[in-house]
Amino acid sequence: MGKLEGKIACITGAASGIGAATARLFAAEGARVIIADINEGSGRHVAGEIGAAATFLRTDVRNPREVDAMVKYAVEHFGRLDILHNNAFYATWGAVGETSIEGWLTTLAVTLSGTFYGMRFAIPRMIAQGGGVIVNTASISGLYGDYRLAAYNAAKGGVVNLTRAAAIEYARKNIRINAVCPGGIETPPVLGALAAAPDPERARRIAEEHHPIGRLGKPEEIARVVLFLASDDSSFMTGSIVVADGGATAWTGMPGPRPE
């Protein structure tokens, strides 16, 4: 306990899933947390659950002015911004030749541009205060391709290399920038997609079997990786792309006997 004692942290997409789990964990570790999300109802609910250590701030990461205001809010109300977790995302379904233009643009706007805006406005503040930490939520979908998720693959792939580029540019300014690449996690979008499948039980089974560990991950498990990257436990890490996927990318996908 206390790994983030006295730190000021801002988490985008924190109204549910990985962002909400990370907000709860950061607060438990001593941080003051700004929950930034477009979903006011869920965001305020998460902030209320956490209590005095959390503040909700409605933020649409597609809008650079709102992201700039989010960073300014942290500095004006708490004096600094020690940790930024760029976690908000959007995904649209469709093969490359079928993806709607609107879906493509929204996916890139939220997932990639939203991450860029966060870093663009946080980094000058962190330089002025002497340092800081940024953790971006990428995905194994940013490392490899998926069927019918081309826009999401492109956006998360951009997050991966944006993380690397920013990390090397600001390493000597005492700003560490890393990314976590989750596999399938039990977040509302994932669970919603499985429930909407023609055969939800079969879809769930296939998703679980894609992970050699035999199940989907939990948001709290990824939150612990984010905590590691945000804390001094990872003080010699920057530009790292940390995979937490239950073994999914360790497997070629070829069929074969599976250990019980």
> Are the C-beta atoms of residues 213 and 118 closer than 8 Å to each other?
no
Helix (H, G, I), strand (E, B) or coil at 232: helix
Nearest to 111 by CA among 137, 93, 134: 137
Q: Where are the beta strands (DSSP E) in the chain?
A: 8-12, 32-37, 54-58, 83-86, 132-137, 175-182, 241-244
Give CA torsion, residues 130, 116, 134, 243, to 10 deg: -150
Instruction: Give the DSSP per-residue string, 175-230.
Output: EEEEEEEE-SB--HHHHHHHHTSSSHHHHHHHHHHTSTTSS-B-HHHHHHHHHHHH
- Rounded Cα distance between 73 and 48, Å, is 19
Q: What share of the chain is helix, strand, coil (3-state, %, to 5)?
A: 50, 15, 35
Q: What secondary structure letter does DSSP report for 239?
A: S
> Are the C-beta atoms of residues 124 and 80 closer than 8 Å to each other?
no
Q: What secondary structure letter does DSSP report for 108?
A: I
Is 90 catalytic? The answer is no
Which listed residue (90, 117, 152, 170) is catalytic? 152
Strand order in the sheet with 241-244: 54-58, 32-37, 8-12, 83-86, 132-137, 175-182, 241-244
Residues involved in catalysis:
152
